[in-house]
Structures are given as C-alpha cells and as structure tokens.
Structure 1
Amino acid sequence: MLSSVADPSTPLPGACLVPVHEASAERDRQWWRSSVIYQIYPRSFRDLRGDGIGDLPGITAEIPALAELDIDAIWLSPFYKSPQKDAGYDVADYCSVDPLFGTLEDFDALVATAKAHSIRVIVDLVPNHCSDQHPLFQAALAAPENSPARDMFIFRDGTGENGENPPNNWQSHFGGPAWTRITNPDGTPGQWYLHLFDSTQPDFNWDNPAVHKEFERILRFWLDRGVGGFRVDVAHALIKKSGLPDWGGRADGASIEGFPGHEAPMFGQAGIHDIYRSWRKILEDYDGDRVLCAEATIDPLDRLTDWVRSDEMHQAFNFAYLHHPWDAGNLRSTIETSLKAFDKVGAPTTWVLSNHDVVRHVSRFGQAPGHTRPGDGLGPEDQQPDHDLGLRRARAATLLMLALPGGVYLYQGEELGLPDHTMLENSHRQDPTFHRTSGERLGRDGCRVPLPWVADAPSYGFSSTGQSWLPQPEQWRELSRDLQEQDPNSTLNVYRDALALRRELNLGHGSLAWWPEHDAQSVVALVNGNVLALMNMGSEPVELPAGELLVRSVPEAGQDGFLAPDAAVWLRLA
C-alpha cells in the first residue's frame, strides 16, 4: 500500500503549524500512554465448544491472529459467574469463571498465551452493582433491616402512607424506576433496594468500609493471576449523594437544560476519588505497570480528567470523541479540547469509535442526517444505514484516530468493518433495555453479534456446529476474516498496516499540530512527528501536499495528488 505522491522535496510550511500537544518525554513513555487495547466480548468472539457461545479457549486460540494487529493488550468484558441477565455485568461471583466461558484454568492459559505474544490481559471490573444472586445480596435479603449484611447494599424505607412508593424518583438506565421493593420472609412488603441498572443488579453501598475491603480482595485475586489491569464499569457511580435527593435530569447523568450533569446525585461525587487512590496503591504493589481505566460518562471533559490525576486512574474513556458527528469542525474541536484537558493533569487521552454499548461506527456513519433513533440500537423498522458510505467513512475515521497521540481502544470486529445487525428480529433480543422499555429502546444486541471468521463455514467459523447465540446477517460472509486476509485492500489490512506504522513511528507517544493548508470545515489535517494525517469530511476532492504516501483508507485515496471525499491518508513529510 506504499506509493509516491507529488515531489517530496517541496519545502514544508512548518512555521505555520498550529501546535496542540507535545510529545511524551522519554521518562513518561509508559506503555499505557500510547497503548492499543482490543476489546473482546467473550460470548461473541470464538466458540470452540460448539454450544453457540464464545469461550475463553476460543480467545486463546486466536491470540496469534490478534498479535498480528500490533496490539498491547486485550480487555475482556465480564466472564465471571453470572445469571447473564445483563450479559455478565450482573456478577454472582467476582473470583470465578462462569461455566459458559470455561474455567479458571482456561483463564490462566489465556493469560500465559497472551504473555507469550507480549499482550496483556485487562479484565472488566463491575464495582457499582452485582447480581441479585450474589451471596452477599442473598444474605442481605435474609437479614433484618439495619443489619451489617443489609448495609452492604442501599436499602431504604419507601415513601407514602405504607411505604408503597420508592424512596426517591431516580430512574434506571435500562428504563423504569431505579428501586425495587422486596418481600420480607413473613410475606409482608419490605424495604426498597437501589439498582441504577436492571432490577437484578443491586447497587453496593460504598459508604460501607466492608464493601471497600471486599473489592480490594477481588483486585488482588486477579492481580495475583497476572492480569494487566482493570477496566472499571460505571466508575463514576459508586458514591451517591448523602440523603439520596430527587433528580429531575437524565437517568444517565448527561447534561440537559436545567439539569447539568455535575449536579446528578448518583454520579461524580467527591468521595469516589479516594476509592481509586487506594486502588492505584494496590496496583503499584505489583510489577508490570498494571493499569486502571475508567468508564465514566462525565461532562464536560475538564471534569472527566479528575479521574486520571497522577494518583488515580491511568486512563478514562473519551466518550465525547466516540460520539463525534461526521463534521470536521466538531471533530477538530473535540480532539483539541481533549488533548488540552488531559495534558493539564499529565494523563494520556484515549480514543475510541465503537464498543459493546453503542451502534458500531460503520452503521453510525452510514445513517442519514436526522434519522438517528433515540436510545441504543437500530432495527428493521428504522431507516437503514448506507453500508458502503458508512464503511468508507469508518475506515477514514479509524485511520485518522490511529494517527493521534495517546491510547486507542478497538472493539472486536471493527477491523473487519462490521456494521451493526440492524435487521435483527425482536424475538432474538436479549438486552434488558429492550425488555424494560417494552421495545421502545432496542438495546445493544446489534453490536454484539458473533464474529465471522471463515466465509464458507457454519456460523462463518464462529462455532464448528453452526450454533450462534445471536443470528449473524448474511452480508457478514463477505466480511469474514479469511476472505479479508487475502485482499490487500481489505479493511483488515488497512488496520494491520496502520497499526504497524503507528508502532514503528511511535505515534502514540507523539505530538499534534494542525496543518493549516486546508479548509478546517471540511478537512481534518494533523501532524504527528513527520506524519501528516488528512481526512476529507467534505463533498469535494482536496489537493494533497508533497510527501510519501504511507497508508490510505481506500485504494483510490491519494491518486493524482488528490484526496476524495470520505477518505483519509497518512503522508510522510519531507
């Protein structure tokens, strides 16, 4: 994919560059500051046992294929023992492997194989809530009010004459009230417990020191087994405001008129930072530079950086970047705001375009303006995305993202250019969001469909028996990994080429300056070291400056010295 563009001897207007971010000093080049971390959703990655559900041995078998992507680590979504009411985010035992996925021995084998390929294993930690089948919650249900067992969770008396109404008006992320009333052992109505998510996911009471002690035990259990760190689920939700006051804003705490997110009483409370300072100290007891990454939906970005101060977490997901629209001005602003905010606390910015909770970016970028569905997921009754346009834009957006300094998160299957399964029938849906909202929100199943490995195999090579816990769309045959490996212009090979160059050129530890020679309303053009990355988000071709073409998002990008719309390139500057 290498070729020549124009005359590389042409002088560059270096003095005109607009600097935004300086390269990391040698002393600050820890691996996590420039990391590429690949998210694996275990039940949809690879099934070696033939039951239609992905497993840990399936992940281990494909570690060599992942190593070809030049990644630093894999992050595993939950694989713990669980009733699977919320795809494993309802944990019944934090120190065991659910039989669906294998055994602890399988996990140890996975860690060992990954280490042999210089890949770390990061595990998902879910500290805000557990399953209602967790022994601690079962003990709380059996215990009397105000007992130590019940104090592990957030139980309150109801309001109204007989306590028949919830303690406050908080709503669940998945729809409906965030409170459920229990029945006492004698059959009478009892107290209410808080669950910011499904009713089967009671929230822990982080005001109780016993909860802190339990999670410190869990951290050490997995650190002792060699994990490289933890992605912390809803990391901003652990501490609730004293008194649990009513809240008239969004259930997820996102800012709306009259209800700014920083006032949400269930998110972002000051005491939460002491928890992560104590966790950071635990990780520092272990060798290998272990990491903490926050999933914290916090706005504005200046507040999110509180989670990554030097004695707290190492990384935090940049959701502002994930949700950027197809607009050059907006994207430039998001990149610049992100880098400047995180630079103030000496932390790396992370970049991400897809994960297990959002519509894949191939489908998002293929949607017509004004035709986005509120909530999550797209279905057969929605206007369907333009797949070809979405894939073209997704490849361009990924190429630009991989040129940015900082850390990158990839979601399994995006290297194949997978879209969401937008034609998934409702009868197959399993996400609790769909069921708690009576189908008003479709949920996240469409981005969680099992991967296609082999075009002409049952279930496209996901499972030898052809079973698949969610059906795969027929179009995925053409996107199967085996076919893409043979095509030098495939999405897979664009990822491979760009990721290899990102490492070779050390772009993750690099700098960023804006290239001023193009219209900032249609083109994003940035310089990292001596690499110029350009993405054309406008409707007309743009002329390229002199330089050596290193990688391009589509085969025709850079031909005749021009960059077509919805395409991106990297040029090595003279």
Structure 2
Amino acid sequence: MTAPHAPWWREAVVYQVYIRSFADDFPQGGGDGVGDLRGITSRLPYLRDLGVDALWVTPFYTSPQHDHGYDVADYKDVDRLFGTLADADALVARAHELGLRLIVDLVPNHTSSEHPWFQAALAAGPGSAERARYLFRDGKGPDGSEPPNNWLSVFGGPAWTRVEDADGRPGQWYLHLFDPSQPDLDWRNPEVPAMFEDVLRFWLDRGVDGFRIDVAHGLFKEASLRDQVRPEGDDEPELHVPALLRRKDAPAGDPGEREHSMVERLLDDEPMWDQPEVHEVYRSWRRILDEYDGDRMMVAEAWTQTPESMARFVRPDELHQTFNFAWLGAPWDAAAFGEVITDSLAALASTSSTPTWVLSNHDVVRHATRYGGGPAGVARGRAATLAMLALPGSAYVYQGEELGLEQVEVPPEARQDPSWFRTGKPGRDGCRVPLPWSGAAPPYGFGPGAGQPWIPQPTDWADLTVEHELADEDSTLAFYRRALAARRAHVLGTDEATTAEVEGDTLVVRRGALTAVLNTGTAPVDLPAGEVLIASGPLPAGGASLPPDTAVWLR
C-alpha cells in the first residue's frame, strides 16, 4: 500500500480548465462570451462532485491574447479579460475549501511581443543588454535579408521575423518557434532564470499547488543556432504539436492533415528542442518548490522522442511529472496501448515520479473524434478512459470529455487559432468550443449573455449539456462520475506491480486484485472470471463476454 503521507499528485486526477471556454463569470454578471476566473470559481462544486482531485487552469495573465494567453505580457498580474488578482486569490481559496488543488500554467519559453522586455529590446537596438534577453541575430546574405537559419515555426512559416532599426532600415531577426507575437527567450542570459524564479515564488506565495510548464523541452536551443537537418522537400514545422490537431476526416492527400502519431512526425535532428541544459533549470525550480509546504508540484509539457527522454524530466531532483503524450498519440489499438504502458512504466522505474495518462487537451483533436467519431468514437473514448484510470499514477482529463464532446467543425470566419492564420489549416479551435452547461440552445448556460460565446457552439448540443447528462444515468457524465468513484474505491493506494498483456485485439491490465480488459476489436471476447466492478458500456446478460469498443474492471 502507498504510504499515508504520499504526495497528493502521485495518484491525482487533474481536470484541465481552458479558461476562455469553461464558464463566463456565471452567475456574477459578465456576459462577454469569454470564460473567466469567477466563472471557474462558481463551477468548482461541479468539479468536486465529478470526483477530480485538482484543476489545471490555462494562462490568465496579462496578455494581448494573440495566442489566447500563451503570449504573456505580465506574469504577475491577471488579464482584465479574466478578472483580477483578487479573483485569482478567491479561486485558490475556494478550491482549497472544497478539497481541490489548483495548478496554474507557466509559459517560460517565450514572452509576448508586448512584454516590457521585448519592447525595450526593440528600442535598444543590436548588441544591447535588452536584446540579449531574447534570440536576436543578424540575417544571412550580403544584406542580411535571409533568416539566420532554416528553422520553422510550429504555427507555420519561418521561425524568424525581421525588425526595423530606429532609422527605419531592415534590422536584425528574432526567433519565435511559435507565433511572431511570441519571441523566444535566451535562457543562457542570467536575467531570464532570475525573472522566472521570482514568478514562481509570487504564485507559490499566493497558495497555488503547482505549475504546468508550457513547452518544457524548448527553453534552450543549441547555442550555435545551426540549421536543422530535414528530409529534402520537408517544409513542415519541426514539430511540437502533432497532426492529431487535424480532423480525422480531413481531405485525403493533404500531408498536413495526415493522421499519425507524435513519434512518427518528430524528426531525428532537433537543435531547438530537448537540450540537456534545460534540466538544470528544473533542478533549481525543484529546490524552490521544496521550500514550500503542501507538496507543491510541477508537470512538464515535453514532447520528446522516446520514453527515456521523457523520463529525464522527472528524475528525483527535477520535475514531479511529465505528460505521457505517447498514450495520447496511440491509435485505437490494443497492441499500441499495451506498448505505451509497458514502455512508460519501464522508463519511469528508476525515477521518483509516477506515470501520467492523458487522452485529450486544448492542442489536439478530441479523442472521441480521433477514435472514429459518432457513437462508436464516444464508446471508444469511454473505454479508453476506463482503461487509463486503472493504471498507476495520475490521469489528466480535458474539460468536456466527460460530456462526450467531439471535435467541432468551426466555420472559417469564426476561427481564432493563430496557426489557422499562418497555415490555412483548421488548427485547434474545434477542441476549444465553450462548454454547454444547460438549456436547449447556445450559449447553453455558458454565461449570462444571450449570444454565441467567443467560438460559436453547435446548435445540436442540447443533449450534451451538464444539466441534461446529470439527469441521465447512462450519459457519459454519469459514467465519468462512476469511473472516478470506482478508481477511489478500488485502485488508489495499490502498489502491486502492473502488467499489460495483449491478446489479439484485447488489452488486459492486471494490478493486484484488479483486472481491466479493453476490447478494441470488432467481435466480442471472453472475459476472465471475476466480479464486474464497472464497465464503460452495456454488457450482455451474465457478463461472460466483452463487446467491441468496451472496457471492464473485474475483481
């Protein structure tokens, strides 16, 4: 059994709140169609009753919102779109009253182009101390008109933008691995780590329980900023975000719309990602968090090449967790799931961390759609979730998956993802549509306003609202509540070894007295003997077999 004093995060279920799309200042007022801090606070009882242990809130700091908060202009204040510092304090306090932990997003790879540091860099000019905080370089060619290297932005196009000098002439270039409004910081400049250590303490002193580290693998680049070696003709980004961003039913033949795993898209040569120097940053941050009581934690968003490179981020003196994107990237296939489980557990065996498991987030196509969409996709999503919740470690749930929400086809005129404007590809808006809470028509109780929220909701979501699903014991929401309760009753505190076996299209996970069986095939499979604790869908009378697209727990 796990020791009673084990840190809370080791087996936590964490609910991701995409702040713009969770709740709009309800019932306080508001009504601008954009979610905010008071909206989250008002809905915390829903999360408590769902059965999660913590919530992770995406960035709410001062920002021009070019990338919806991931372009930060002030890390120690709240954007007025979302509220005030007092609202943030109230959210922390109310979460703790309800027994919930609060994790906030930290964005250390880049700032906003409107951050005072970057504005000072533009004003100061080449060779200045102000520019040394970022990655400014002279261009190539006789007149410096070519980018310093061949790196590509994750959001499409070159990863470099040229600025004008004070006299109006073309000047240096600056690196932005994402949008031009998100200039990358130079972490070899001591001012940069000093600033973020101050930011950490600011929010720890306000009571937050942890941090989700955005682009945790990207802080350092190879110092030479050399060209990336890419296959001839490969003009896609070197990738941070996989093709799982794209819709499964996108037009065939468009290489940007192929469905494949993150590992397949990653290139062998990545001088802009996962450099060894990044680990000393996290050792210094770990020392800071260890000064505070309450088992404060950090979880990395680190898209890495292998399970072994993922595990390096959670060595005993570094971060506490890192997202297991191999699980998210696995197709609907028992063998693929089994391989991820086995490899992940083996890679983490020598660390002090526990695995994390996640199926969806604000950057990828919702898993119900990835698994085929419609009733079959939703059934598969429920089954994958039940299998995930049987595994050791913690699980992360993306808002709306507990309602069975699928990816939305957002009309072009309503799209707001910066990658859409740079590439013309659908991007991430379809997984960020605001939640439906109640009623029969948009905005479905999202806020007190009468019109559509910041991304329009479908008109056929009446049966997917929280209100509707709470009244239906067969709903996906009811299933999630039962599954999380079953996890607390039958899984938590179990230290027995976990094994994953694949038999044809069937995954069998054994963990102590618990056996979880997942059928990814097209025909029923026989079940081993045991008491049925919970199933993701209906079982035939007698419970001797498991239908396709279904999972079950047995004892």
TM more than 0.5: yes
d(CA) in 1 for partners of 2:402 and 2:94?
22
The equivalent of 2:125 in structure 1 is 144
* 2:129 aligned partner, one-letter code: P
SS at match of 2:347: helix
**Which residue of 13, 20, 23 maps to 1:36?**
13
After superposition, residues 539-554 of structure 1 pair within 5 angstroms as 539-554=522-537
Counterpart in 2 of 1:393? 380
1:46 lines up with 2:23 in the alignment: yes
CA contact (8 A) 2:151 2:227 kept: yes
- Of 334, 343, 346 in structure 1, the residue corresponding to residue 340 of structure 2 is 334
Indicate conservation of the 8 Å contact 2:151/2:228, yes or no.
yes
Gaps of 5+ in 1: 1-23, 367-385
The answer to whether the aligner puts 1:480 opposite 2:465 as a matched pair is: yes
Q: Is the 8 A contact 1:507 1:529 kept in 2?
A: no
2:444 partner SS: helix
1:91 alignment partner in structure 2: 72
1:451 paired residue number: 435
Q: Indicate if the aligned counterparts of 2:442 and 2:459 stay in contact, CA closer than 8 A.
A: no
Change over 3 Å in CA distance of 1:109–1:39 after alignment to 2: same
- What is the identity, as a one-letter code, of the residue corresponding to 1:442? P
The equivalent of 2:389 in structure 1 is 402
Give the drift of 1:457. 5.8
Structure 1 window deviating more from structure 2 (457-466 vs 326-335): it is 457-466
State the match for 1:68 in structure 2: 49
SS at the partner of 1:461? coil
Higher relative contact order (CA 8 A, sep 6+): 1
Q: Is the 8 A contact 2:266 2:305 kept in 1?
A: no
Contact 1:494 1:551 in 2 (8 A): no
Q: Distance in 1 between matches of 2:337 and 2:449?
A: 44
Alpha-carbon distance, 1:258 to partner: 11
Provide structure 2 residue ranges, at least 5 long, that are not aligned to the other structure: 231-236, 241-261
Aligned pair in 2 of structure 1 residues 559, 245: CA closer, same or farther (>3 Å)?
farther
**Shift in alpha-carbon separation, 1:557–1:136, aligned structure 2, 3 A:** farther
Structural RMSD (CA): 1.7
1:470 pairs with 2:447: no
CA offset at residue 138 of structure 1?
Answer: 0.3
* Structure 2 residue 501 is matched with structure 1 residue 495: no
- State whether residues 557 and 569 of structure 1, in contact with CA within 8 Å, keep that contact through their aligned partners in structure 2: no
Judge conservation of contact 1:33–1:509 (CA < 8 Å) in 2: no
Is residue 191 from structure 1 mapped to residue 172 from structure 2 by the alignment?
Answer: yes
Task: Kindly state the Cα deviation for residue 501 of structure 1 after the two structures are TM-superposed.
Answer: 1.6
For the pair 1:524 / 2:507, whether they are aligned, the reply is: yes
Which SS does the other structure have where 2:50 is aligned?
coil
Secondary structure, aligned partner of 1:534: strand
Q: Matched residues in 1 for 2:495 and 2:369: separation?
A: 30
Structure 1 residue 564: deviation in Å?
0.5
What aligned pairs does 1:82-481 form with structure 2 within 5 A after superposition? Answer: 82-249=63-230, 250-252=237-239, 259-260=267-268, 263-366=269-372, 386-422=373-409, 424-437=410-423, 439=424, 441-456=425-440, 458-467=442-451, 468-481=453-466
State the TM-score, normalizing by the size of structure 1.
0.88
Structure 2 counterpart SS, 1:173: coil
Partner residue of 1:381? none
Assess, with a 3 A threshold, how the Cα gap between structure 1 residues 484 and 306 changes in structure 2: closer, same or farther: same
Alpha carbons of structure 1 residues 565 and 156: separation in structure 2 relative to 1, 3 Å? same
Conserved 8 A contact 2:442-2:458: no
Return the offset for 1:266.
0.8
Q: Give the total of aligned pairs.
A: 523
Residues 70, 76 of structure 1: CA spacing in aligned structure 2 closer, same or farther, 3 A cutoff? same
Structure-1 separation of matches of 2:64 and 2:182: 11
Sequence identity (%): 52
Which portions of structure 1, spanning 4 or more consecutive aligned residues, are displaced by more than 4 angstroms?
A: 253-259, 557-560
Report the alpha carbon displacement of residue 51 of structure 1 after superposing the two structures with TM: 0.7
Which residue is equivalent to 2:60?
79
